[in-house]
Amino acid sequence: MSGDINECENVENRLKYVLTLRLTDMGFQQDEIRILSDFVYQDLVNYITKGNPRNHDALCKAVDGPLSSWLPDWLDYWLLKWRQRVKLSFGSTDEERNFDADTEKAIGMIGTRQMRKLNRMAMLGLVEEGEICGTSIVSDFVARSVVQELVAEEGVKGAVDAIKGNPALVKRMIISKIAELRSMDRPLVVVNLQLSQGNGQ
């Protein structure tokens, strides 16, 4: 069994290497690749594993299979979405979305496991609609926004009960929120870049 795990770890390293080579071939400079590589890697893993990054088998099959045939087109589309959906910020930013105390309380009561399921539902919905960039960040925002809307309508307990007991309602709300986000023509994700100082920090 440990051999399989090591093999998958090697596959992940190979995937990162393939992405770096592809970005280099596309003419990106090293500084740009450093910004893009981790971001695109996470989105590609989410895409391959359908929002379940623990699914190492899917990752292994993709990298050892037809990845090279569809990766160039996928990466071209991802870069298009990157330019549409991501804003680069230097230094601190005050654009981070904070949720109110009742929403955070409801999220705590819902629990990590259920919120993870909600995130995955949102991630699958995003990918199905072609929103393949920033999937981890945007799916988390969608999931929390759904909780916030339910809290506003039903209160904390009502929101928790709906999330746990009414998956059809939750799915409809996720689809609606994704449609709302897709209609926006502004960035959905802010990436904060820390400028290096003279002391090397």
**pLDDT value of position 58:** 85
Torsions phi, psi for 133 (to 5 deg) = -110, 130
Q: In the chain, which residues have pLDDT < 70?
A: 1-9, 90-97, 192-201
CA distance 132 to 126: 7
pTM for this structure?
A: 0.83
- Quick: pLDDT tens for 88-100: 776 544 445 679 9
* pLDDT score, position 108: 97
Query: Residue 29, Cβ neighbours under 10 Å: how many?
Result: 10
Return d(Cα 132, Cα 71) in angstroms, integer.
13
Residue with tokens 């994700």: 189
Give residue 90's pLDDT. Answer: 62
